[in-house]
Amino acid sequence: RAKAAGKSGFVVFDEAMHQEALSRLQLETDFRLALERGEFRIHYQPIVDLGSGRLVGAEALVRWCHPLRGLLVPADFLAVAEETGLIVEMDAWVLKEACRQLAVWRNRFPDWPELTVNVNVDEKQMVSAGIVEEVFSLLQRHGLPPASLRLEVTETAFRTGRAQAEQRLLALKALGVGLVVDDFGTGYSSLESFAASPFDALKMDQVFIRDIASNPRHRAIVRTIAGFARELGLAMTAEGIETGEQRVIAAELGCQYGQGYLFARPLPAQEFEQLLLGDARILG
């Protein structure tokens, strides 16, 4: 939308573009402040055993309580976080807070010894120098069983610095934490990279689940990947389950775990805690 201003060759921005640049700059400034002011929150979305509907854990999903714009979701700010590199700091906070919260829950609810929390790790954080030590010290500090923490990485973590990412994954695996491939099926990595890497689980991207009832190709892909996962000894989770029909089909095709609005939306910590407290351990 930039247009050349006559012969001078100067480029002027139109008003909309100007506004866009300004609000982006504002967002970036606000984001830096948000880290200092502690404006981030975590919502916890239940993950269930698809067969029984039994709650097995949660995925930690970051939210930003913006002082003027209200509660923001990652789509509103993740691009800025990534481009500025501030995502590493944000992710470090999420990891720390999720571990603290998990330890509180595990202590408060001893009848949930199997409770796990999944944390998303951006590729920049995965290759950052301190990630392994950071995870190790958090597990120690909170006395968490390593397997109660599960780190989700997308296929893009392999795009740049694959060797480094793989080295980190192996070190994290050696600590005993769970490693999950997020949004499986939408990236560009080779199957070989998964066969060789120390993952425990795959999360099938929502795009395959959304139209699973009407799209035989997506059913074929889910069935095939579920078989692939089984052969490699990986657990498989279906993301974005919104209907009972999607749930039944995903289970039939071989997905063991599921996550989606059918079971629950991402919940503030106190609301998720109600699930641990109550008898509502079967969802969906």
User: Least distance in Å: CB of 246 to Mg ion?
Assistant: 15
Q: Is 182 in the site for Mg ion (CB under 5 A)?
A: yes
Contact with ligand C2E (CB under 6 A) among 33, 79, 174, 261: 261
User: Least distance in Å: CB of 1 to Mg ion?
Assistant: 29
Q: Is 94 in the site for ligand C2E (CB under 6 A)?
A: yes
Alpha-carbon gap, residue 155 to 188, rounded angstroms: 7
Q: In terms of residues, how long is the chain?
A: 284
Q: Is 152 in the site for Mg ion (CB under 5 A)?
A: yes
Nearer CB in complex with ligand C2E: 89/166 = 89
Residue 223 structure tokens:
């069935």
Contact with ligand C2E (CB under 6 A) among 21, 73, 195, 196: 73
Given ligand C2E, Mg ion, none, residue 242, with its beta carbon under 5 to 8 Å by kind, binds ligand C2E
Nearer CB in complex with ligand C2E: 166/242 = 242
Per-residue 3-state assignment (H helix, E strand, C coil) for the chain:
CCEECHHHCCEECCHHHHHHHHHHHHHHHHHHHHHHHCCEEEEEEEEEECCCCEEEEEEEEEEEEECCCEEECHHHHHHHHHHHCCHHHHHHHHHHHHHHHHHHHHHHCCCCCCCEEEEECCHHHHCCCCHHHHHHHHHHHHCCCHHHEEEEEEHHHHCCCHHHHHHHHHHHHHHCCEEEEEEECCCCCCHHHHHHCCCCEEEECHHHHHCCCCCHHHHHHHHHHHHHHHHCCCEEEEECCCCHHHHHHHHHCCCCEEECCCCCCCEEHHHHHHHHHCCCCECC
Q: Is 165 in the site for ligand C2E (CB under 6 A)?
A: no
Q: Is 178 in the site for ligand C2E (CB under 6 A)?
A: no
Nearer CB in complex with ligand C2E: 30/59 = 59
User: Least distance in Å: CB of 94 to ligand C2E?
Assistant: 4
Q: One symbol per residue from 202 to 241: x for binding ligand C2E (CB under 6 A), - otherwise; what is it?
A: -------------------------------------xxx
Angle, helix 15-37 to helix 87-108, in steps of 10 degrees: 40
Token look-up 């990485």 returns: 153
User: Cβ-count burial of 6 within 10 angstroms (0-12 exposed, 13-18 middle, 19+ buried)?
Assistant: exposed
Segment contacting ligand C2E (CB under 6 A): 71-79, 137-145, 168-176, 217-225? 71-79
Contact with ligand C2E (CB under 6 A) among 266, 272, 275, 284: 266
# binding residues, ligand C2E (CB under 6 A) = 23
Residues 109-138 that bind ligand C2E (CB under 6 A): 120, 122
Given Mg ion, ligand C2E, none, residue 266, with its beta carbon under 5 to 8 Å by kind, binds ligand C2E
Contact with Mg ion (CB under 5 A) among 120, 125, 246, 256: 120
- Binding positions for Mg ion, rule: CB under 5 A: 120, 152, 182-183, 239
- Binding positions for ligand C2E, rule: CB under 6 A: 45, 61-62, 73-75, 78, 87, 91, 94, 120, 122, 152, 182-183, 239-242, 259-261, 266
